[in-house]
Structure 1
Amino acid sequence: MEEPARVSFRDGRLASRKAEEAACRRFQAALWLEKMSGPLGLPSEPTEQQFVSCLRNGLVLCNAINKIQPGAVPKVVQNQSNGLTWENQTPPAYQYFENIRNFLVAVNEFKIPSFEASDIERDNLEAGSVGKIVDCILGLKAYHEWKQFSGGNGPWKYMKSPMVSRANSIISSNMSEKVPQSNA
């Protein structure tokens, strides 16, 4: 009878580690987007909802990809009102659709993991949808680093690292020994 309790404890620890890793990856993606696009107005450790809400109108994503590859998204629909932040502004439907669609087309051309437009438009986030968005952004970050390092010469292949550097320092050493590290 003790075995089910141990399994439950292990499951809880695994779930906790997975949530911690997901949060670390989200924080890394948010930091990189701020570096590329300027201040996003997010807290230092945004929730999934805050993170997705910041990206919903597509401006941050389009600006980031255009910094890496100028003209990757040739038409970025800007918001007409000034001074409003992502927190108190609902983007017009055409702006969301146009910017997100154009961003996803550009991402697919770079062969970076993508997400569905519906993943970013939902008010109620589904399990895994934010992870797809984060994977896409971290893939774009890896592409940017590859392009800077190689000058865009040579083969490009995105290899998802199972752990980010911050997560490596947080998660116990025995977990780190089990997960292969990537140099990409």
Structure 2
Amino acid sequence: MSLERAVRAKIAGKRDPQQDKEAQEWIETILGKKFPAGVAYEDYLRDGVVLCELMNKLQPGSIPKVNTSGGDFKMMENINKFQAACKAYGVADLDTFQTADLWERKDIAQVTTTLFALGRASYKHPEFNGPYLGPKPADECKRDFSEEQLKAGQSIIGLQAGSNKGATQSGQNIGAGRKILLGK
């Protein structure tokens, strides 16, 4: 098997049809319209129009001009606008897909991951009142320790500090084996 085929198989293996379905249903609910029958999930999202409409529903005016016609570059521009709007909305840069992932259908699983990240980011926007996609992100749990508690923690020696009941690595011969010289 060629390396390229192996890489494609690994990427395709990451894809979860159930997550694709959840993301599609979330988009349909927010936009109030169903995906056309017989059109694949990635094919319907490919030109970026639906993604821009979704972003404008979540945060009105975030993408003022959506290209509905034009060449390939105009459609890829929609995807780029969606990605920029996602980042501005609170989606982490590492959670956003690359334009080629959708346009060339290289990694649709990453596109779905971005949609789930967008769904999680929507929890942090009080102006949006659902539906949400994915689990609610955890809130910060800030702790305040007294000076006495902090000093008490300094006297504790963890096992990684070398007090592992006298265990050492002496006697282990990792790497080069013993060299035995034979007599002449």
Normalising by structure 2, report the TM-score.
Answer: 0.55
Say which of 16, 34, 45 aligns to 1:22. Answer: 16
Say which of 49, 65, 74 aligns to 1:59. Answer: 49
Aligned length: 118
Which position in structure 2 is the counterpart of 1:108? Answer: 87
Deviation (angstroms), 1:28: 0.3
The gaps in structure 2 that reach 5 residues or longer are 1-9, 138-184
Residues 121-173 of structure 1: per-residue CA shift (max 9 Å, x gap): 11xx44xx1111001112222223442xx347xxxxxxx96xxxxxxxxxxxx
Deviation (angstroms), 1:109: 1.5
The residue type paired with residue 141 of structure 1 is G
The residue type paired with residue 59 of structure 1 is V
Say which of 63, 70, 77 aligns to 1:98. Answer: 77
Contact 2:28 2:35 in 1 (8 A): yes
Which position in structure 2 is the counterpart of 1:75? Answer: 65
* SS class of match (2:87): helix
Which position in structure 1 is the counterpart of 2:34? Answer: 39
Q: Distance in 2 between matches of 1:69 and 1:131?
A: 24
Determine if the alignment matches structure 1 residue 133 to structure 2 residue 123: no
Q: Distance in 1 between matches of 2:57 and 2:120?
A: 14
RMSD between superposed Cα atoms in Å: 2.7
Contact 1:42 1:51 in 2 (8 A): no
Contact 2:120 2:136 in 1 (8 A): no
Distance change (3 Å), C-alpha of 1:140 and 1:42: farther
The residue type paired with residue 72 of structure 1 is S
Distance change (3 Å), C-alpha of 1:141 and 1:42: farther
Normalising by structure 1, report the TM-score.
Answer: 0.55
Larger Rg: 2
Higher helix share: 1
Query: What percent of counterpart residues are identical?
Result: 21
The residue type paired with residue 80 of structure 2 is R
Say which of 116, 122, 126 aligns to 1:144. Answer: 122
Q: Distance in 2 between matches of 1:53 and 1:67?
A: 21
